[in-house]
């Protein structure tokens, strides 16, 4: 075979290989349309399924909130295994229920007796909001409810910053302003408990929120160091930028270094600027001598007395469902359907949430908690009172679910007859 013949043969062979390698197989037009229709159908199915799943998840999110008897750990007539170890902690709803039942006090609960709303002499809701307890979210809830129930929410601008402790003249003026509000008004202000009776003025409906005191001071520590807080404040008051070391010092380092701002000394007096250690102060009043010594017995006692005597509800976002249920039942004029309004979308909005706040080591938290004994006692007192109010509302349902309560009631009735 000649060289030219051999080259021609190889070229033909290569052409044949390329023809097979890059060949295009024509598809019928109907097959292409079928594939496109199938792709569109799959996309639509996935969209509808995802949308339905999202709706179901939202419904389950509300249903699975630890409210009603699931919060008590009751299933039928017995205690569920999951919650069986919780009954010794009286600071939980389940623990309060177990304690009251074991002592026979559960049958003495009376929702009307635990509700101070009836003692109000004017139709004004006074919310003396404690900083860093979720007050912005609570105010937003009331604003939304106000559109439904026809009431207004007025927020004290407090242009001079948070000044909870007022002189006598300032206290008197603020009380006069609140009394002068129209019926069906909410007034919210970062201010200590106001004693309207002391100034011979009609009392409003008192309400407030509390938070774990150590978590609250940690939240405040990082809140005032957030640039979106101190930069606008600096511009308003023409102050210099803060020291970078102050901004960048972590809370645990501040505690371990024994810095003044992180030294929680019992009996220490109120610092006029940026001192937010005392949650009891907002319930004690405006007597500087009695109410300002940190973590002391007298402020604790006065704060408890005012809550017991004056406040319709003191709730906490750490027990959201109980708080909303008690607000709905005890102050329906302002809070009817609060749970439904809250879980329709407000619960997803985190106001003043600070992403800069890091995880604090448990040993640091425990170290700080040892200096907050009475502040913690007050917080637990408010939680237990909230639990009692909630249980009083649910007493009849509890008796239907718990045979031991029925037996306890029958034993009490027999004892009375004997």
| Catalytic residue list | 190
Q: Rounded to 5 degrees, what are φ and ψ at 197?
A: -60, -35
β-partners of residue 314 are 208
For residue 280 the two structure tokens come to: 């009891």
User: What distances in angstroms separate CA 365 from CA 66, 136, 186, 361, one per listed residue?
Assistant: 26, 25, 36, 7
Asked if residues 135 and 211 have their Cβ atoms less than 8 Å apart, the reply is no
Q: Which residues contact 177 (CB under 8 A, 6 or more apart)?
A: none
Distance between CA atoms of residues 131 and 119, nearest Å: 26
β-partners of residue 120 are none
Asked if residues 216 and 279 have their Cβ atoms less than 8 Å apart, the reply is yes
For residue 302 the two structure tokens come to: 């006065």
Asked if residues 147 and 116 have their Cβ atoms less than 8 Å apart, the reply is no
Sign of CA dihedral 210, 214, 215, 218: positive
Q: What is the DSSP string of 154-185?
A: EE---TT-------HHHHHHHHHHHHTSPSSE
Neighbours of 257 (CB within 10 A): 10
Q: Three-state secondary structure along 308-346? A: HHHEEEEECHHHHHHHHHHHHHHCHHHHCCHHHHHCCCH
Q: Cβ-count burial of 357 within 10 angstroms (0-12 exposed, 13-18 middle, 19+ buried)?
A: middle
Distance between CA atoms of residues 181 and 203, nearest Å: 12
Q: What is the DSSP letter of 287?
A: -
Task: Tell me the chain's radius of gyration from C-alpha atoms.
Answer: 32
How far out from the chain centre does Cα 160 lie? 27
Neighbours of 111 (CB within 10 A): 17
Which of 299, 307, 266 shows the shortest CA–CA distance to 280?
299
């Amino acid at each position: 075979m000649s060289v030219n013949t051999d080259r021609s043969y190889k070229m033909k062979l290569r052409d044949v290989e390329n023809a097979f390698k890059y060949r295009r197989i024509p598809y019928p037009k109907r097959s292409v349309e079928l594939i496109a229709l199938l792709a569109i159908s799959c996309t639509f199915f996935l969209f509808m399924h995802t949308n339905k799943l999202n709706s179901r998840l939202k419904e389950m999110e509300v249903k699975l909130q630890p409210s009603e008897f699931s919060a008590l750990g009751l299933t039928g007539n017995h205690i569920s295994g999951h919650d069986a170890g919780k009954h010794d902690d009286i600071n939980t709803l389940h623990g309060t229920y177990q304690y009251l039942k074991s002592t026979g006090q559960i049958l003495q609960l009376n929702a009307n007796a635990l509700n101070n709303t009836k003692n109000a002499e004017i139709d004004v809701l006074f919310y003396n909001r404690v900083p860093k307890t979720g007050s912005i979210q609570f105010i937003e809830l009331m604003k939304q409810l106000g559109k439904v129930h026809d009431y207004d929410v007025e927020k004290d601008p407090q242009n001079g910053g948070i000044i909870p402790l007022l002189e006598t003249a300032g206290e008197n003026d603020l009380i006069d302003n609140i009394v002068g509000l129209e019926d069906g008004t909410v007034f919210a202000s970062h201010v200590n408990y106001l004693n309207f009776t002391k100034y011979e003025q009609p009392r409003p409906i008192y309400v407030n929120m509390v938070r774990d005191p150590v978590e609250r001071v940690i939240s405040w520590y990082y809140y005032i160091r957030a640039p979106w807080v101190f930069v606008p404040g600096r511009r308003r008051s023409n102050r210099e930028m803060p020291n970078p070391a102050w901004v960048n010092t972590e809370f645990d380092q501040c505690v371990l270094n024994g810095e003044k701002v992180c030294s929680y000394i019992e009996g220490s007096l109120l610092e006029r600027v940026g001192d937010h250690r005392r949650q009891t102060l907002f319930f004690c009043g405006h007597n500087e001598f009695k109410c300002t010594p940190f973590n002391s017995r007298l402020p604790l006692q006065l704060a408890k007395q005012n809550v017991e005597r004056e406040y319709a509800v003191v709730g906490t976002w750490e027990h959201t469902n109980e708080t909303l249920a008690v607000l709905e039942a005890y102050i329906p004029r302002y809070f009817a359907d609060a749970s439904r309004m809250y879980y329709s979308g407000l619960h997803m909005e985190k106001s003043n949430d600070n992403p800069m706040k890091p995880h604090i080591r448990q040993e640091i938290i425990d170290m700080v908690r040892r200096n907050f004994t009475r502040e913690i006692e007050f917080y637990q007192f408010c939680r237990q009172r909230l639990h009692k109010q909630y249980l009083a509302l649910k007493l009849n349902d509890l008796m239907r679910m718990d045979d031991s309560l029925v037996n306890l009631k029958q034993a009490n009735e027999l004892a009375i007859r004997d």
